[in-house]
Each structure stands twice: as C-alpha cells, then as structure tokens.
C-alpha cells in the first residue's frame, strides 16, 4: 500500500539530502565500527559489536522508510492551486475571535511542518480545519484544549 506524500521542491530536496547522508556517510561509519569491533576478538561477548550491529539495523530501517517516502513523494504544482481557498502552500492570516490575536500560517505537508517558522501541517487540527475554507469564513477548530473560533482574514500564495 503506497503512502503518497506531497512536497514542495525544497522539502523533497531536504528529504533526498538526508537520505543521501544516511547512505553515504552514516552507513560506511557503522560498517567501520562493526569491522573495528570484530577485530577485538570473541564476538559472543563483544558489547561494542552488538551495539554496532543494533545501530546498523536501526539505520537500515530508517533508510528503508526514507526510500519509501522518496519513492512515494509527489511535487506540488503551485500554478494549479486555487488561490481563493485555503489549500496546501496557502498563507492564511487568521484572527482568533476570542482573544483578538492575529496569526499567520503557511499550510504545508506534514514532513515540512515547523511551527516556529509559521508552517503548520495540513493534517494538524488547525490545518484540517482551514482546508477548503475561503476569506471571511468563520471556522471552529477543535484542539486539545477545546474549540477555537477563527476568522480567515486573508489567503495568499
């Protein structure tokens, strides 16, 4: 079962760079650790060897998952997105109707979310609540602390 994920060009490049680092830097490093531990003698009582083999297994699992992510990655064509609705890559300016606070979020794929940079995942509670909404809409978003009511002030790309 494929798990297609959507990425911006920058997000996909970051994923590919990380995968290349794991394959070309981390993998040879662990192989070297295993070889050094093997040279120390009896493998049945060699804790360094066991730790290195376990680290190798974890690394190979991570590489496998990242390879799946890259193979199921799709680039987002920004030119085909409707700018009148909140969609992935939309920049949405919101007003919290209770506190009057203004916030601006960019809706991104889950793998690119970075709250400090104002990027929230379309699969987060706020992201899901905003998808498909238009400027002027009032949205009730359920978050762990309750329901927050936002007014969408602006949507841009």
Confidence band, pLDDT 50/70/90 cuts, at residue 4: confident
- Domain extents for the chain? 5-75, 78-156
Tell me yes or no: is domain 5-75 CATH 3.40.50.300.
Answer: no
Calculate the CA 58 to chain-centre distance: 20
pLDDT digits (tens, 9 = 90+) for 83-104: 778 888 889 999 999 899 999 9
pTM for the structure as a whole: 0.62
- Topology (CATH) of 78-156: Chitinase A; domain 3 (3.10.50)
Give the residue among 62, 63, 38, 60 at the shortest CA–CA distance from 49: 38
SS3 assignment, position 17: helix
pLDDT at position 58: 94
Say if 5-75 and 78-156 have the same CATH topology. no
């Amino acid at each position: 079962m494929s798990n297609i994920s959507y990425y911006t060009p920058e997000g996909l490049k970051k994923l590919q760079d990380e995968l290349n680092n794991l394959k070309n830097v981390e993998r040879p490093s662990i192989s070297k650790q295993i070889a050094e531990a093997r040279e120390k003698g009896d493998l049945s009582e060699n804790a360094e060897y066991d730790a290195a083999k376990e680290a190798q297994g974890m690394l190979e699992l991570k590489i496998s998952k990242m390879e799946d992510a890259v193979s199921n990655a799709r680039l987002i064509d920004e030119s085909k997105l409707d700018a009148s609705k909140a969609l992935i890559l939309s920049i949405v300016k919101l007003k919290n109707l209770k506190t009057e606070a203004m916030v601006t979020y960019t809706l991104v794929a889950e793998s690119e979310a970075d709250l400090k940079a104002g990027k929230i995942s379309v699969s987060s509670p706020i992201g899901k609540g905003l998808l498909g909404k238009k400027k002027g809409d009032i949205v009730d978003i359920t978050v762990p602390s309750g329901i927050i009511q936002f007014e969408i002030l602006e949507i841009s790309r």
